[in-house]
Structure 1
Amino acid sequence: MLKNITLVGFLFLLVTAIGCKQDPLPKPKAHLRLDYTQASYMGFESPCPFTFDFNGNTNVKVKPDCGITIDYPKMKATIYLTYKPVTNNIDNLLRDAQKLTYEHVIKADDIVELPFVNAKDKVYGMFYQVGGNAATNTQFYVTDSINHFVTGSVYFYAKPNFDSIMPAASYIKDDMQTLMETLRWR
């Protein structure tokens, strides 16, 4: 009988302990917070026939052919700039730049073209925003139509998944727009 009372008492305590918990509540939705340092732009003087402003939080490297890389080590991304002289080949250069952008149509949700005109400094071009899981989501080209032609594109060292890279892509897009808008010919 003592065993039954002890067993009943133990079961009573167990049920009381389990039954007194509060109802479980689902955790609220959260978002990954990615904070990037405020961009501080500085002028870039190179041996190439153009100058531009770039984000001082990056690493810039210049190749002998005026190919320039701007690395974002924390974001695992790089902006690639390519310079080509214009020698009666402006149509081919424009076609190649546009072809590079539109090769991403297969993976892109949309491509937004933003024309750029700086008549005072003779810098004309196009800025492309490629939506979706394309390999590059921001590209541009600029030219003076007579002597100089520069293309720029950003690549991330990760499988394209726009939802995941969107904060970094937005940050770098602003840097690319600044670069394009401040580019000047020498």
Structure 2
Amino acid sequence: MLYSNKFHFRLKTSRGLVMLLITAMLGLLGFWVNGYFKQGNLSKGNHLPAQHYQPLKSGFPYQFEYSIHAHLLPATSRHTMDYWVNLYYPDFDATIYLSYQSVTDNQALLNDWCKNASALAFQHQVKASSIEESIIQTPKGHQAHVIELFGEVATPFQFYTTDGKKHFLRAALYFKTASQNDALAPVIAYIKKDMIHMLNTLEWKA
């Protein structure tokens, strides 16, 4: 009888361990599946939503159109300043961080912000296989510095722009984890198109 009780105890213990392992495996499977649909499957270009845009709400010194698939959120950095916001893409677990600075009649301040914007991008040159910086002209006549980073980096695309007198705006796309650009190429191209649309529809407010 004692042997039988020990046998049942061991059997129950073994079953408990098996159930624990199964639960853990299911949890990992759920995490993997969630990641697959968020980045793995979407990174292959599957199920990318149609691109449509909406105007930024009033009250900002800048206006542009941004993706209807992005959530406008307040910036949470401890360095946050007025009119800083984040555009979060839940489908891709990616965020565009927008930082604004008023530089009215202060050329030295404007120069500092431009230098800092470029320096922030080039901080990633340790992991980036290459970094390309170019200047583009928007349909509304604005100039913008566009920075593309390649390789295993968390931020593949950034830009900054200014009217040269009053306003400065920087945008940086970040994914939660650094990844080879090739793995997320369709998603990067998708959000990059959204960011270019932001630039092309950008207007400064007095």
Cα shift at 1:62: 3.9
Q: Is the 8 A contact 1:121 1:185 kept in 2?
A: no
Cα shift at 1:90: 1.2
| Structure 2 residue matching 1:133: 3-state secondary structure | strand
Is 2:98 the counterpart of 1:81?
Answer: yes
Hey, what does 1:56 align to over in structure 2?
Answer: 68
Change over 3 Å in CA distance of 1:163–1:184 after alignment to 2: same
Is 2:134 the counterpart of 1:104?
Answer: no
Aligned CA RMSD, in angstroms, stands at 2.0
Q: Distance in 2 between matches of 1:154 and 1:128?
A: 11
TM-score by length of 1: 0.76
Cα shift at 1:121: 4.7
Q: Is the 8 A contact 2:103 2:166 kept in 1?
A: yes
TM-score by length of 2: 0.69
Is 2:53 the counterpart of 1:41?
Answer: yes
Q: Distance in 2 between matches of 1:32 and 1:98?
A: 30
Give the letter for the 1:86 counterpart.
V
Cα shift at 1:158: 2.3
Change over 3 Å in CA distance of 1:74–1:117 after alignment to 2: same
Is 2:163 the counterpart of 1:144?
Answer: yes
Q: Distance in 1 between matches of 2:147 and 2:68?
A: 23
Q: Deviations over 1:90-137 (max 9, x none)?
A: 11011101101111111112222231234x856322111111112200
**Runs of 4+ in structure 1 over 6 Å off:** none
| Structure 2 residue matching 1:39: 3-state secondary structure | coil
Q: Distance in 2 between matches of 1:95 and 1:182?
A: 24
Hey, what does 1:127 align to over in structure 2?
Answer: 146
Hey, what does 2:191 align to over in structure 1?
Answer: 172
Contiguous gaps of at least 5 residues in structure 1: 1-30
Is 2:180 the counterpart of 1:161?
Answer: yes
Q: Distance in 2 between matches of 1:48 and 1:32?
A: 36
Q: Is the 8 A contact 1:139 1:153 kept in 2?
A: yes
Contiguous gaps of at least 5 residues in structure 2: 1-42, 76-80
Change over 3 Å in CA distance of 1:163–1:48 after alignment to 2: same
Between structure 1 and structure 2, the one with the greater Rg is 1
| Structure 2 residue matching 1:112: 3-state secondary structure | strand
Identity %: 29
Q: Distance in 2 between matches of 1:146 and 1:122?
A: 14
Hey, what does 1:116 align to over in structure 2?
Answer: 136
Q: Which protein has the bigger helix share?
A: 2
